[in-house]
Amino acid sequence: DLEVIVNETLRCRKIVRGALDFARENKPEMTQADLNQVIEECLLILEKHVNFQNIRIVRQLDPALPRILVDVNQMQSAINNLAVNAADAMPNGGSLTIRTGTDKEAGMVFVTVADTGSGISKENLSRIFEPFFTTKEKGKGTGLGLAMTYGVIQRHNGGIDVRSKVGEGTEFTIRLPMP
C-alpha cells in the first residue's frame, strides 16, 4: 500500500507537471514500452478508486501487442483521463472495456476505451477536445482532460477517434505507430 501511495504521489506530481507542459508542449520522453503493462498499471490504481466501485472493468488486451515507443507517464495520464471520464458517465455503474490490438495494414497499435454510460450529444461531440470545454457541473471538471489527452496522442504521432450514442455509451480509440 505504501508503494502505491508513493507511486501515486509521484504520478500526481507528473500530472501537475504535465498540465504545465500542456501549455509549453514539451517533447515526450520516449521509451520502448509494453502498452498492455501501461494499461494494467493504470487499472491497478483505478480499481481501488471510489468512482469505480460499481463499474465492471473488462480487459481485452492483445497478448501479442508489440512494444512501441511512448512516454509512459503521458500515456498513463491519457488512459487515466479516458477511464475517469468513463466512470463519471456511469454514476449508477456500468461496464468499462479496455481493448488493445494491432492494425497491421496501417502499421498502428490501438487502445479502445469504451463505456456503457450516458454518451455524448452530437452538438458536444465536436467540442470535446477543446481546452476548458466541459459538460460537468462546476467543481467537477476543468475541461482539460480530453484536451491534454488529445495533445499527448498528437505528440506521439498518433490519432484519437470517438464514437458515442446518447444513452448507450462512448468509445475512444487511440492509434499509435508501430516500430
Q: Which three cell numbers stand for residue 69?
A: 515507443
Q: What is the mean pLDDT of residues 12-39?
A: 76
Q: Which residues contact 130 (CB under 8 A, 6 or more apart)?
A: 143, 147
Q: What is the mean pLDDT of residues 163-177?
A: 96
**pLDDT at 177 (0 to 100):** 96
Q: Which three cell numbers stand for residue 119?
A: 454518451
Predicted confidence (pLDDT) per residue in 53-89, tens digit: 899 999 999 999 999 999 998 899 899 999 999 998 9
**pLDDT at 64 (0 to 100):** 95
Predicted confidence (pLDDT) per residue in 120-159, tens digit: 989 888 888 877 767 666 656 666 678 889 989 998 999 9
Q: Which residues of 138-147 are buried (b: 16+ CB within 10 A; e: fewer)?
A: eeebeebbbb
Q: Is the dihedral of CA 172, 97, 73, 177 positive or negative?
A: negative
Q: Which three cell numbers stand for residue 106?
A: 496501417
Predicted confidence (pLDDT) per residue in 82-116, tens digit: 999 999 899 899 999 999 999 999 999 999 999 99
CA distances from 68 to 31, 44, 79 (A): 8, 21, 16
